[in-house]
Chain A
């Protein structure tokens, strides 16, 4: 079955690194995504990783993927107050009826950045 889990809250000090974790269960996932959602807003794509990769870096963001443990993490370096938001990981499921690209989202992690 499809189940994506994240811890609910994370609090860090400005300037520190944040690490947001995610576990997923569907072994057929091929792409894994990280989205950011600010209060009252839609979802902003941050980055994604293909399942044959272990790591992807994009400026302050580093994604690590452990396929054996089905564990995904997002590291934000030098966290700023503007990074305060909810972060969703999502897995992309193959073989969706009728095509398309079904994303199954995690529960979301609320990141709070304190001064």
Chain B
């Protein structure tokens, strides 16, 4: 089945220790997104890639970076995680641009910062 896969499902890191979260998709979609969802809050868009073009949200901290080496994979790098970065991180994809393009979400990676 075509799908969006996130690994690992749970990630524990130490304060200040860089961590990378992974997302892959078998849908061959052009657009990939990363959302941050803190406890009991709505998901918040961090950034997205349209093909190789990176688009950062204005209020995304510099601590968060992303890489998309090919169509299938996208990574979220947190350079120096703080306690406030503990959250669920959701990856999503859409076939193309535009508001009519449905986003399909992965199961998420829950990050714990000790």
Count of B residues near A, CB < 8 Å?
30
**Whole-angstrom CA separation of A43 from B105 in the bound complex:** 6
- In the bound assembly, the distance between CA atoms of A43 and B106 in angstroms comes to 7
> A42–B42 contact, CB under 8 A?
no
Kindly state the interface size class of chain A when it binds its partner. Answer: 20 to 34
Min CB gap A37→B, angstroms: 9
Contacts of B102 in A (CB 8 A): 33, 45, 48
* B48: chain A residues within 8 A (beta carbon): 98, 100
The CA-CA distance from A97 to B47 in the complex, in Å, is 11
Q: Which of B12-20, B63-71, B76-84, B93-101 contacts A (4 or more CB under 8 A)?
A: B93-101
- Determine which of A43, A44, A93 lies in contact with B43 in the assembled complex, contact meaning CB atoms within 8 Å: A43
Using Cβ atoms and an 8 Å threshold, which residues of chain A touch B55? 96-100
Query: Does A115 have its Cβ within 8 Å of any Cβ on chain B?
Result: no
In the complex, chain A residues whose CB is within 8 Å of the CB of B6 = 42
Q: A interface vs B, CB < 8 Å? A: 4, 29-31, 33, 35, 40-45, 48, 50, 88, 92-94, 96-103, 105-108
Interface residues of B (CB under 8 A from A): 4, 6, 31, 33, 40-45, 48, 50, 53, 55, 90, 92, 94, 97-108, 110
